[in-house]
Structure 1
Amino acid sequence: MSTIQAKQLEHAHAFLSHLNALNFNSVADLLAPDFTHEYFPASLTLPAGKAKRGKEDTLELFKYAWTTVFDSITFLPPMDVIQGSDAVVFHVKSDGISKSGKRYNNEYMLTFHFAGEKIVSMKEFTDSKYSDSYFAELNVL
């Protein structure tokens, strides 16, 4: 593994760690200025109807979800990690609880794309059946 690939893997792990710690400034430092975040699959009911967001919108969405929707939410350590040229893929689960006391345990495939050490995009594939049902009941996104 090259030095740059090692840094990319380190930064993908740091992304999750910083989110778990509610350290949004450190998350922002990992992202390229033109960073984009996309939700998949297309059939998912999307927060505010947006499938794709830029850096600032993504950070605001994370801040809102992690501090307003959830009492706590944590990405668990990846169950599977795949690394390629300028990309890292994590298969992860979350453990959380909403402000209303409802448990949140979703499953994701997160694909991070890099330019050098900066994350330029993240594609988030989620358990769409679980997500749609969970957030429809909360009526928050």
Structure 2
Amino acid sequence: MSDIHTKQLENAHAFIKHLNALDWDSLADLLAPNFKHQYLPSTIIPPDGKDDRGKEDFVNNLKVTLENVFDKVTYLPPIDVIHGSNAVVFHLKSDGASKSGRKYNNEYMVTFHFDGEKIIKLNEFVDSKYSKDFFGALRAESS
């Protein structure tokens, strides 16, 4: 494996580490200036209502969601890792709870695309049924 591909894999793991630590500056440093993020599948309604978002919107959306909606969320070590040319794919799960105490255990496929060492694109597939049920229940609690 080339040095750049090793660094890409390290940076994908670092992304999860910084996400768990709520270390927004370190997480943002991993992202290219022209970074793009998309929640998938396309039928999911993203928290911010956008089909895709750039670096600043993505980091701000994570920060608001993880700090205001959740008491704590831990993204667990990947169950499966696929590493290709300028791409890393993680299958992983989360373990957490909302501020109201509702358990949050979602499942993800996250595809990191790289330009050199920087993450240029991230596609985040979520368990759409679980997400709809979880966030729908949170909305009902706050009504």
* Structure 1 and Structure 2 fold alike (TM over 0.5): yes
In angstroms, what is the RMSD of aligned CA positions? 0.9
Which residue of structure 1 aligns with residue 118 of structure 2? 118
| TM-score in terms of structure 2 length | 0.96
Pairs within 5 Å for 1:1-141: 1-139=1-139
8 Å contact 1:75–1:95 — kept in the other structure?
yes
State the Cα deviation string for residues 85-117 of structure 1 (Å, max 9, x = none). 100000000001000100000000000000000
Gaps of 5+ in 1: none
| SS at structure 2 position matched to 1:96 | strand
Q: Is the 8 A contact 2:87 2:113 kept in 1?
A: yes
The separation in 1 between residues aligned to 2:57 and 2:66, in whole angstroms, is 14
Once the two structures are TM-superposed, the CA of residue 45 in structure 1 deviates from its matched residue by 2.0
CA distance in 2: counterparts of 1:112 and 1:99, whole angstroms: 29
Counterparts of 1:65 and 1:48, CA distance in 2? 10
Runs of 5+ in structure 2 lacking a partner? none
Normalised by the length of structure 1, the TM-score is 0.97
- The amino acid across from 1:113 in the alignment is H
State the number of aligned residues. 140
Mapped contact 1:12–1:112 kept (Cα < 8 A): yes
Any idea what the Cα deviations from partners look like across 1:54-87, whole Å, max 9, x if unmatched? 0000000110111100000010000000011100
Q: Give the match's secondary structure for 1:68.
A: helix
Q: Is the 8 A contact 1:93 1:108 kept in 2?
A: yes
- The percent of aligned pairs where both chains have the same amino acid is 60
Post-superposition, which runs of at least 4 consecutive aligned residues in structure 1 deviate over 6 A? none
* CA-CA distance at 1:51 after TM superposition: 1.9
